[in-house]
Structure 1
């Protein structure tokens, strides 16, 4: 997912290139487990400050279900748009300081958003970050209702058996912190 943009940077604002992607991302992040290649399209558009990258891709990742803890295949559709700025001018090789561009200082100095001095635009890091952003916080398997998932019910029984001894312990003798004792009057008796 590296693109030589030297010729694009020589062209006028508005020039663009479109590339189809079919990339193996198994080496992208050790914590990501892709089921297949990343497929999609990338558009590179020449803008006043460098290159605007618009990407839309699909990938299927193997993740752990948040309920039943079984591995599931999670299809993701990701779309992002990022502005990349060159480190050097193509024609002269002169270093371009971040102060010569408009924008947030953090964005101008973000290494993931720089076109290197050989005019190679690398989108690996931006793709990795956007895949993580597209993943749900708690991935779920195909069962909408957790009570219908056989793996969830099995795990629930295992947990209840493992913690059954805790429920049997008597809780009659509870030490109450004297600082909280006044609040007990507000709690209705059960």
Structure 2
């Protein structure tokens, strides 16, 4: 569920741009992140800051939105589960069509429609850009050794940590070798 303040801050009024191709305006604002800007292990925390630096330009077809959005990604490493945090900047470039029919003529995924109240809703565009920019397997650093798959031990604390694992296909040969060694010891 959207918080009313979050929703209104991601709605941009473009009444002044309608019917005036070539005109534009700049938007510099910090908005709270809506819920769901995340994957399983990392994301932009709800209500954390997203800094928008956006230019709206009226074109014949609608409003072209270009600029950047910057936020802090937080979460945990997919290997060792340590917390991680880093800045993420995504580039915006989205055409919002004035006419719903014009938007359907082209590629529906690339064109969005200006709302009936002559506003743009930037939330879906930002969600698409931020979530797809998040790593599928986030790591605290590229050479993170992670945790032992057997016992959960931190491999960074002892890189030589191993568990003796016997391949069950060789178990019969190991038993035979033990028998032969016993026979040699008796002789």
Equivalent position SS for 2:168: coil
Equivalent positions of 1:32-181 (< 5 A) are 32-34=43-45, 36-87=48-99, 97-98=101-102, 103-108=106-111, 113-141=112-140, 143-147=141-145, 152=146, 155-156=147-148, 159-161=149-151, 164=163, 167-168=165-166, 170-172=168-170
Per-residue CA distance 1:56-114 (angstroms, 9 max, x = gap): 02101112212212221131011120100124xxxxxxxx5237x86335545xxxx11
Give unpaired runs (5+ residues) of structure 1: 88-95, 175-190
When residues 107 and 134 of structure 1 are mapped into structure 2, their CA distance, relative to the original with a 3 A threshold, is: closer
Q: RMSD of the alignment, in Å?
A: 2.9
Q: Do the aligned partners of 1:63 and 1:74 also contact (CA within 8 Å) in 2?
A: no
Partner SS state of residue 18, structure 2: helix
TM-score using structure 1 length:
0.66
Q: Conserved in 1, the CA contact under 8 Å of 2:37 and 2:45? A: no
Counterpart-to-counterpart distance in 2, 1:29 and 1:170: 45
User: Are the aligned partners of 2:58 and 2:64 in contact in 1 as well (CA < 8 Å)?
Assistant: yes
Write out the 4+ residue segments of structure 1 that deviate beyond 6 Å after TM superposition.
none
Larger radius of gyration between Structure 1 and Structure 2: 2
Deviation at 1:34, TM superposition (A): 2.3
Whether the aligned pair in 1 keeps the contact of 2:75 and 2:83 (CA below 8 Å) is yes
Q: TM-score, normalised by structure 2?
A: 0.67
Give the whole-Å Cα distance in 2 for the aligned partners of 1:124 and 1:2.
8
Deviation at 1:119, TM superposition (A): 0.6
* Mapped partners of 2:122, 2:36: distance in 1: 11
| CA deviation after TM superposition for structure 1 residue 146, in Å | 2.1
Question: What SS does the corresponding residue of 1:54 show, helix, strand or coil?
Answer: strand
Q: How many residues align?
A: 150
Q: Flag the 1:106–1:146 CA change in 2: closer, same or farther, 3 A.
A: closer
Task: Flag the 1:41–1:105 CA change in 2: closer, same or farther, 3 A.
Answer: closer
